[in-house]
């Protein structure tokens, strides 16, 4: 066991259903640390089955933070998570200089490890106005608006993505300053070093694990959970794989069987995007999902010493 080290945040990433939770608990127990959860949907207490929240035994095996600590009716975003998680880590590092973070939400992982660009608060009415404009006039009008207000951003973002397009526009309109001027500002330095561990498997194995997990979710009551949440389906937190497909079933757009197949398909696509995101970081230490935890610990300890 390593002692008297600088602050280290062991970060576990990888696609959904790969076994990140189990590994995080094993590492937390070995290093006598606690766990920061970095899953942007497990924050919400009304969503349990569909977000694969750790079960009671797992939660009791180590202290977890940011698990079901918010409501779907609250406005909680990546910037707020970065702020809250940094504050929590300051407290945890005073207990033990080695802590663990786990999660599959790449943007949230990056926010905590590296910081985000900060943008001014924007009146929600501007987003509502842009949404109406998109619906009535089409995306081309918004694209032209951004081209006129901020050519640099127009040339650098995926302008066919309405969410990114409206985000850039609302900042331009709300602040009176181009969106691009807020990017790439100096970030707040971190008081820790990250050792990032990635879990991987052959694509067929990942997909089979996802399909099996969805079947288990359905057996455990995902349909009933989605039924309770259906009246609030317009909330951003509920525009999530596993819920939105069942909402389409409730709206008679899908059969039940097709909805389940869509959950599996969309989760597989999500896992593919996760891997693409996490593989951008060449410093991530990748392990097969079946690797003995002792071997992973040896690698972590060597990395810390080096």
- 16 in a labelled binding site: yes
Condensed to tens digits (0 to 9), the pLDDT of residues 209-249 reads 999 999 999 999 999 999 999 999 999 899 899 999 999 99
Q: Do residues 90 and 29 share a domain?
A: yes
pTM of the model: 0.81
- 125 in a labelled binding site: no
Assess if residue 1 is contained within a domain: no
Distance CA 117, CA 241 (A): 27
Q: Do residues 112 and 131 share a domain?
A: no
Q: What is the pLDDT of residue 3?
A: 56
- 88 in a labelled binding site: no
Confidence of residue 2 (pLDDT cuts 50, 70, 90): low
Distance CA 122, CA 167 (A): 10
Q: Do residues 107 and 137 share a domain?
A: no
From 80-94, 175-189, 207-221, 289-303, the region with the lowest mean pLDDT: 175-189
Assess if residue 208 is contained within a domain: yes
Q: What is the pLDDT of residue 5?
A: 66
Q: Which of 166, 182, 198 is the last residue of a domain?
A: 182
Mean pLDDT along residues 186-194:
86
Q: Do residues 94 and 130 share a domain?
A: no
Of all helices (H) and strands (E), which one includes residue 281? none
Assess if residue 3 is contained within a domain: no
Distance CA 284, CA 84 (A): 24
Q: Which of 152, 182, 212 is the last residue of a domain?
A: 182
Q: Do residues 111 and 53 share a domain?
A: yes
Domain of 165?
124-182
Looking up residue 140, the CATH number of its domain turns out to be 1.10.20.140
Q: What is the pLDDT of residue 79?
A: 84
Assess if residue 2 is contained within a domain: no
Assess if residue 61 is contained within a domain: yes
Return the higher-pLDDT residue of 52 and 158. Answer: 52
Distance CA 55, CA 226 (A): 18
- 299 in a labelled binding site: no
Minimal CA–CA distance to 35: which of 6, 10, 7?
A: 10
- 18 in a labelled binding site: yes
230: DSSP letter? G
- 111 in a labelled binding site: no
Longest dimension (CA), the chain: 62
Distance CA 271, CA 275 (A): 6
Mean pLDDT along residues 192-215:
97
Looking up residue 249, the CATH number of its domain turns out to be 3.40.50.300
Confidence of residue 294 (pLDDT cuts 50, 70, 90): very high
- 240 in a labelled binding site: no
Assess if residue 265 is contained within a domain: yes
Give the chain's domain count.
2
Q: Do residues 106 and 14 share a domain?
A: yes
Assess if residue 163 is contained within a domain: yes
Q: Do residues 87 and 25 share a domain?
A: yes
At residue 220, what are phi and psi to the nearest 5 degrees?
-85, 0
DSSP reduced 3-state for 182:
helix
Q: Which of 160, 182, 204 is the last residue of a domain?
A: 182
Condensed to tens digits (0 to 9), the pLDDT of residues 118-156 reads 777 788 889 899 999 999 999 999 999 999 999 999 998
- 158 in a labelled binding site: no
Q: Do residues 110 and 201 share a domain?
A: yes
Q: Do residues 108 and 150 share a domain?
A: no
Q: Do residues 94 and 223 share a domain?
A: yes
**Taking 60 as the threshold, does the pLDDT of residue 4 lie above it?**
no
Confidence of residue 33 (pLDDT cuts 50, 70, 90): very high
Condensed to tens digits (0 to 9), the pLDDT of residues 68-117 reads 999 999 988 888 999 999 999 999 999 999 999 999 999 899 999 988 87
In 138-202, where does DSSP find H-type helix?
A: 139-149, 151-154, 162-175
Share of the chain above pLDDT 70, in %: 97
């Amino acid at each position: 066991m390593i002692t008297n080290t600088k602050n280290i945040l062991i970060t576990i990433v990888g696609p959904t259903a790969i076994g990140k939770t189990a590994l995080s608990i094993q590492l937390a127990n070995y290093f006598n640390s606690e766990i920061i959860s970095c899953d942007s949907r497990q924050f919400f207490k009304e969503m349990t089955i569909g977000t694969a929240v750790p079960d009671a035994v797992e939660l009791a095996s180590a202290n977890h933070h940011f698990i079901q600590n918010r409501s779907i009716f609250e406005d909680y975003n990546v910037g707020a998570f970065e702020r809250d998680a940094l504050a929590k880590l300051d407290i945890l590092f005073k207990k033990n200089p080695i802590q663990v973070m786990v999660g599959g939400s790449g943007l949230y992982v990056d926010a905590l490890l590296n910081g985000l660009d900060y943008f001014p608060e924007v009146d929600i009415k501007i987003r509502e106005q842009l949404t109406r404009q998109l619906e009535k006039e089409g995306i081309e009008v918004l694209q032209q608006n951004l081209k006129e207000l901020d050519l640099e951003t127009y040339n650098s973002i995926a302008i066919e993505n309405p969410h990114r397009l409206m985000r850039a526009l609302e900042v331009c309109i709300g602040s009176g300053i181009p969106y691009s001027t807020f990017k790439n500002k100096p970030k707040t330095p971190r008081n820790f070093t990250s050792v990032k561990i990635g879990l991987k498997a052959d694509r067929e194995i990942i997909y089979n694990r996802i399909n099996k997990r969805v079947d288990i979710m359905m057996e455990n009551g995902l349909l009933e959970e989605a039924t309770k949440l259906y009246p609030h389906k317009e909330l951003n937190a509920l525009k999530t794989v596993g819920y939105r497909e069942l909402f389409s079933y409730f709206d008679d757009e899908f059969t039940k069987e097709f909805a389940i197949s869509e959950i599996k398909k969309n989760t597989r696509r999500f896992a593919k995007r996760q891997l693409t995101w996490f593989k951008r970081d060449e410093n991530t230490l990748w392990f097969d999902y079946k690797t003995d935890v002792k071997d992973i610990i040896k690698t972590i300890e060597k990395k810390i010493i080096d």
